[in-house]
Amino acid sequence: MFDRKHNCLVVVGAQWGDEGKGKLVDVLAESADLVVRYQGGANAGHTVVVGDRQFVLHQIPSGILHPQAICIVGNGVVLDPETFFAECDQLEAQGIAVAGRLFVSDRAHVVLPFHQLLDQASEKQQQIGTTGRGIGPAYEDKIGRRGVRVADLIRGTGARDLLVTRIERANALLAMLGATVRADLAEHLELAERLGARLRPLATDTGLLVHRAVRDGRRVLLEGAQGALLDIDHGTYPFVTSSSTTAGGAAIGAGIGPTAIDGVLGVVKAYTTRVGNGPLPTEVGGELEGRLRALGHEFGATTGRPRRCGWFDATVVRYSVRVNGLTGLAVTKLDVLDTFAEIPVGVSYQLDGDDCHEFPSDVELLERVQPVYEVLPGWECSLAGARRLADLPAQARAYLDRLQDLAGAPIRYVSVGTRRDQIIEV
C-alpha cells in the first residue's frame, strides 16, 4: 500500500511520539524498496502486529518485516550497538531474515554504556523524564565533536585511544553530577572490539545507497522516531529529545538533499499522549484519563511507563503541519474512542484570557494555556471492521472531517486497530 503519489516519503510523528508510526511504516513498506531510520536511537519503540505476533522495534526500521525492503540505519541515528544486535538476533529467532538487507551508516554515532550512566545521572537533576537510553549524552558528544562513530568502532583498535579519553571525561562528569557509579574502560574496550567486528560488514556510506535509490526512482520511506513536539528546536524545550524529529531532520539524518523528498506524512493519534515530563495542554486527568489509557494500551513500548493522555489538540497538530510541511495525515487509534458518547477536541487555546491560536515557544506559557474545547458526538460502536471511509458511521466521519479542517492537511489514512489490515486509505 505504498503512497503512490510519492517516491521518497517521510513519515513523522506529529504529536509527542507513540502515534503509531511503526504500523504506518509497516503498511507502507509493503511495496517500498528502501526504509531508512534517520534520527533517535534505542529510545524509540515501534510496535508492529503481524497476525498473532507482535514486534517491538527500537533501532531497526519497521520495514524489516517485509522481505523485499532494504533497511538502513542512517547517519542521524545514535546507535546503541549492544541492543541493536540483540534486536537483530531476536528478529532472526522469530524467522525474520536480517542478514544482507540491513545496513548501518559509518557516520552514525554510537551510544555506549557511559552515555547511559550520564543520562541517568543527569536525569536526577534535570527531570526531563528521559528513557535513560543515553540519547542526550550521545548527541551532546556528537555536537561537541568528541563522539565515537561507527567508523571508529570498525577500524579495529582505532577506538581504543578515543575511548580512554572519553571514559576519563565521563567519569569526571559522573563525579560532578554526584553519581556513585563509574564507567569501566575494560568493559568499553571489550564492547568496542566485539561489536565493531559485528558492525564491519553492515557499515557503509548509507547516504550513497539512499541517493542512488532516489535517483533510480525506487521507493524510499524515511521513518521518523518520536514526534514533532519532542524536536530539539521545535518541541516543548527543554522537555524534548536531543534530535531533529521534524521532517527537516530526515534529509540530514538520511544523508540526502531536501529536494529528494517529495512528501511528508504526519501520523497523529485521534487523541493525544505524552510520556515523560513537560506540558500537555489537553491532558484529561482523573478517571477518564485512566479509561483512555486502558482502552488505548497507553504504556511506553520502550520503558513500560504509563503514557499521559489528553484529547486531540488541534493547535499542536496545526503547528506540526507547519513545521513539518505535512502533505498528508494518518489518523491512528480512532477505534480507541469507540465507547465515548462525547469526544472533546481542543480547537485553540486561551492564554490569560486572550485567544492564542499559535503554539507558544515558551513552556511557561504553555503550562498556563487553557484549551478551548468543542465537543463532538461519539459513534458508540466498533470501528474495528471498517476498511473504507464509507464503512465508518457518520459521527466518525464527521470527527475526522473536523480534525482535518482544524489541522489544515488532508487525511490520507485512518487506522482502526493494531492489525495490518485495519487501515483505511482515504
Q: Where does this chain bind ligand IMP (CB under 6 A)?
A: 17-18, 43-45, 128-131, 133, 135-136, 225-226, 230, 239, 241-242, 275-276
Residue in 332, 300, 324 with CA at minimum distance from that of residue 400:
332
Decide whether 44 or 376 has the Cβ nearer to ligand IMP: 44
Nearer to ligand IMP, 17 or 61 (CB): 17
Least distance in angstroms from the C-beta of 128 to ligand IMP: 5
Q: How open is the CA angle 223-231-227, to the nearest 5 degrees?
A: 45
Consecutive H or E run containing 105: strand 102-105
| Residue 43 Cβ vs ligand IMP, minimum distance, rounded to whole Å | 4
Closer residue to ligand IMP (CB): 63 or 137: 137
What's the rounded Cα separation, in Å, for the pair 396 and 401?
Answer: 9
* Cell matching residue 47: 510496535
Nearest distance, CB of residue 147 and ligand IMP, angstroms: 16
| Closest by CA position to 225, among listed 249, 206, 203 | 249
Q: Cβ closer to ligand IMP: 45 or 346?
A: 45
Alpha-carbon distances of 403 from 345, 382, 414, rounded to whole Å: 8, 20, 12
- Identify which of residues 135 and 210 has a Cβ nearer to ligand IMP in the complex: 135
The Cα–Cα gap between 327 and 413 comes to 12
Instruction: Select the residue whose beta carbon is closest to ligand IMP and give its number.
Output: 276
Query: Smallest Cα–Cα separation from 267: which of 8, 20, 5, 10?
Result: 20
167 Rama class: left (phi>0) / alpha (psi -120 to 50) / beta: alpha
Minimal CA–CA distance to 27: which of 69, 58, 59, 60? Answer: 69
Measured CA to CA in angstroms, residue 375 lies from 118, 186, 347, 372 at distances of 45, 60, 10, 10
State which residue, 348 or 415, has the beta carbon closest to ligand IMP: 415
In whole angstroms, the minimum distance from the beta carbon of 409 to ligand IMP comes to: 22
The nearest distance, CB 178 to ligand IMP, in angstroms, is: 20
Q: What is the C-alpha to C-alpha distance for residues 298 and 284, in angstroms, rounded to an integer?
A: 14
* Residues facing 423 on adjacent strands: 415
Distance of CA 219 to the CA centre of its chain: 21
Residues known to be catalytic: 18, 46
Q: How far apart are CA 212 and CA 246, in angstroms?
A: 24
Rounded to a whole number of angstroms, the minimum distance from the CB of residue 42 to ligand IMP is 9
Residue 60: CB minimum distance to ligand IMP, A: 14
Which residue, 317 or 383, has its beta carbon nearer to ligand IMP? 317
